[in-house]
Structure 1
Amino acid sequence: MSQELEVQESAKQEIAHAAVWYNTQRPGLGDRFLAEVEDGIQRIQRNPEAFPRGRFEARRILMNVFPFMIIYKVHPNAIIIHAVLHTKQRPSKLL
């Protein structure tokens, strides 16, 4: 049984903010950022248990090109994306 995916509104805002910022730095770079976020989400959906678990049962996946991580939790029927953070931010403040 596949799990539903939910991206919290705050995570959507973080993604959009970062994409806009990258596009102001270089046109098209924000689109590359969005593509990498999508790739990370697909990797999570394929194997949600594959990535390290931290505090409060939250897991994270590091992006390959951009210094960001996707913070998520696995529930019996859903995967919830809680945040997309720059690696210099502390995810423990979220959960």
Structure 2
Amino acid sequence: MNYRLIIRPEAELDLEDAFTWYESQETGLGSEFVRAIDNCISTIGRNPLAYRLIYQQARRVLVRRFPYCLFYIVEEDTVFVIACFHSKRNPKDWQDRLS
């Protein structure tokens, strides 16, 4: 089955914020972060049900090398990325996006 992948606007903002922060720490590090995110998104696209449910209908994939997680939901043939959060952030922040 082919899945459509949609990154919700609030997740886009999460990604932009993280990119900006990493890039301000070291030139090129933001780009490495984006490549790691792209790898996660490709993995999700190939088999979104491979990751277990962690809260209601949300699933989580860990971002390699960076302390971030992508949170997403699967509805029929569409994957919605709802958040990209640092693993130390309060989970209630991304959980609120499900309602």
Same fold (TM over 0.5): yes
The percentage of counterpart residues that share the same residue type is: 32
Maintained 8 Å contact 1:7/1:82: yes
Distance 2:55 2:76 in 1: 18
Q: Which residue of 1 aligns with 2:32?
A: 32
Alignment of 1:8-27 (within 5 A): 8-27=8-27
Distance 1:3 1:19 in 2: 26
Alignment of 1:6-85 (within 5 A): 6-85=6-85
More strand per residue: 1 or 2?
2
Unpaired segments ≥5 residues, structure 1: none
Unpaired segments ≥5 residues, structure 2: none
Q: Deviations over 1:13-32 (max 9, x none)?
A: 11011001101100000000
Q: Secondary structure of the residue that 1:54 maps to in structure 2? A: strand
Q: Deviations over 1:51-92 (max 9, x none)?
A: 121111100000110000000001102000000000011334
Moved runs in structure 1, 4+ residues, more than 2 A?
Answer: 90-95
TM-score (ref. length: structure 1): 0.94
TM-score (ref. length: structure 2): 0.91
